[in-house]
Amino acid sequence: MHDFELVRPTSLDAAKAAFAGSGEAAWLAGGHTLLPAMKARLRAPERLVDLSLVPGLTGITRDGDRLWIGAMATHATIAAAATVMASIPGLAAAALLVGDPQVRNRGTLGGVIANNDPAADYPAVCLALDATIETDRGSHAADDFFQGMFATALADGELVTRVGFRVPDVSHYAKFRHPASRYAVAAVYVARFGSDARVAVTGAGPGAFRWTAAEAALGADFSVSAVAGLAMPADDLNGDIHASPEYRAQLCAVMLRDAVTALQTR
Amino acid sequence: MHTDLTINGAAHSVDVPAATLLVELLRDHLGLTGTHIGCETSQCGACNVLIDGQPVKSCTVLAAACAGAQVTTVEGLADGDTLHPMQAAFREHHGLQCGFCTPGMVIAGIGIAQRHGAGVDRATIAHELEGNLCRCTGYINIVSAIEAGSKAMADA
């Protein structure tokens, strides 16, 4: 890594002031994407603003039909939180599928969302759970926030502070993990809100996206048979040494059926 | 960057560049070479240490971001000549071949024991070792060691 300046502010105002100084700055949350990117010389910020001492970014609270999770909550914290387990067990289970135990002790919700890796888990979770992403400057609907590979609605220096997930009746995340990276080769999050269903896919395309055909099918009939014949078009999906677009399309159909099966048998 | 932290119970005051990784501070600056560097890409787990009791990959943590933290490396587990129960279980069950991955495996095993307690089953242990690689492929005995070590930690 190139050397840089590390700033460890203890308030949100101090953090914003530190970020606004001269030269390229980057927020440091759990660092489990940023630091590897810096080691690989893909990123070389001149200043890192560490958020770990900023108060108020880790809380988890239920407020009406939303579950709010602070941006600096780690995956391990989310997976083990009683409030998450009680409100959205599918989200707690999804958090347990991020990385490995050591990574989950360090990586954060906000870091994943701001990075928007096309194979990350939370973008699909946010889309399926109709999340509101709050920042230091306002809020974004998940549908507007994720804008394709590593692209989000965040302006330069805009900081995710917490995420509000709409609490579904039931939800489940079915993920086909790459055995080395633990990222999703393809994964599907299914959430049911009354007679409506929201379905989001990650890992398969250039960014997480909603699968509207699956939503329509499940909205009409929330059952495995309703989606048994549903195919994902391979046209816009990713192909790499691990999986072709056609294989990923097939995985999406299988993950969708797995998720609905899990919810039906509950 | 000036950083005060506690490592294996001893207070340290160090001055290292901000880009220094925790594993580099431990090995290169303090000579604590029990913590290994395998992949340096947060895959292999050879660099696992405990920060405030939680297992993390020290190749993906900045040393200066550990100011005020309690860091425990494999050197800090034993009590004098008495091995930590997880270390003793690795010796008893021959949970190592070349030994390179062992410090990280022991730390990961302590994390598994903390999360699941004495009754943790082999399937759970195998699953939760997903962040640790043994290139000797000695996993059977590693799982046995963590199974026994988890019981021993609960009894300790």
For B130, the closest of A38, A52, A100 (CB atoms) is A100
Q: Do B60 and A35 touch (CB under 8 A)?
A: yes
How many whole angstroms separate alpha carbon A195 and alpha carbon A189?
A: 17
Within the 72-91 window of chain B, which residues sit less than 8 Å (CB to CB) from chain A? Answer: none
Chain B residues within an 8 Å CB radius of A103: 42, 57, 131
- One-letter identity of residue A222: F
Maximum distance among all Cα pairs of chain A, rounded to whole angstroms: 58
Among the listed residues B66, B70, B77, the one whose alpha carbon sits nearest the alpha carbon of residue B102: B77
Residue A141 has pLDDT above 80, yes or no: yes
Is B48 near chain A, with CB under 8 Å? yes
Q: Counting one residue from A and one from B, how many pairs have CB atoms under 8 Å apart?
A: 77
Mutate to test the interface with A, among B110, B130, B133 (most CBs of A within 10 A): B130
Q: Residue A180: closest CA among chain B residues belongs to which residue? A: B43
pLDDT tens-digit readout, B57-112:
999 999 999 999 999 999 999 999 999 999 999 999 999 999 999 999 999 999 99
How far is residue B47 from each of residues A73, A138, A233, B8, B34, measured CA to CA in Å? 23, 39, 42, 15, 9
Sign of the torsion angle spanned by Cα atoms A100, A106, A109, A113: negative
User: Partners of A187 in the beta sheet?
Assistant: A175, A202
Q: Give the angle subtended at the CA of A75 by the CAs of A69 and A76, to the nearest 5°.
A: 110
Task: Please indicate whether, in this complex, the C-beta atoms of A52 and B128 are within 8 angstroms of each other.
Answer: no
**Beta strand ranges found along A113-193 (DSSP E):** 132-135, 138-141, 160-166, 170-177, 184-193
Average pLDDT, integer, range A105-134: 97
Question: What DSSP designation does A11 have?
Answer: S
CB A43: neighbour CB atoms within 10 A?
A: 17
Q: Residue A105: closest CA among chain B residues belongs to which residue?
A: B56
Check A39 against B40: CB less than 8 A apart. yes
A5–B62 C-beta distance less than 8 A? no
Q: Print burial letters for B26-58: b (CB count within 10 Å at least 16), e (below 16).
A: bbeebebebbbbbebebbbbbbbbbbeebbbbb
CA distance B89 to chain A (A): 21
pLDDT for position A266 = 60
Write out pLDDT tens, residues B14-60: 999 999 999 999 999 999 999 999 999 999 999 999 999 999 999 99
CA distance B81 to chain A (A): 28
The per-residue pLDDT for A179 is 86
Confidence tier at A19 by pLDDT (50, 70, 90) = very high
pLDDT value at A6 more than 90: yes
By DSSP bridging, strand A25-28 and strand A47-50 are parallel
Contacting residues of A for B21, CB less than 8 Å apart: 35
Asked if B1 and B13 touch (Cβ cutoff 8 Å), the reply is no
Token pair listed for A119:
């194979």
Per residue in A180-193, pLDDT tens? 888 999 999 999 99
pLDDT digits (tens, 9 = 90+) for A50-66: 999 999 999 999 999 99
pLDDT class for A22, splitting at 50, 70, 90? Answer: confident
Interchain pair A3, B18: CB under 8 A: yes
ipTM: 0.96
Residues constituting chain B: 156
Nearest by CB to A106, from B45, B56, B64: name it: B56
Spell out the SS3 assignment of chain B: CEEEEEECCEEEEEECCCCCEHHHHHHHHCCCCCCCCCCCCCCCCCCEEEECCEEEEHHHCEHHHHCCCEEECHHHCCECCECCHHHHHHHHCCCCCCCCCHHHHHHHHHHHHHHHCCCCCHHHHHHHCCCCCCCCCCHHHHHHHHHHHHHHHHHC
- Binding-face residues of B in 106-125 toward A, CB within 8 A: 108, 111-112, 115
The tens digit of pLDDT for each residue in A145-155 reads 999 999 999 99
Q: pLDDT tier at A165 (50, 70, 90 boundaries)? A: very high
Residue A265 has pLDDT above 80, yes or no: no
For residue A239 the two structure tokens come to 């192909």
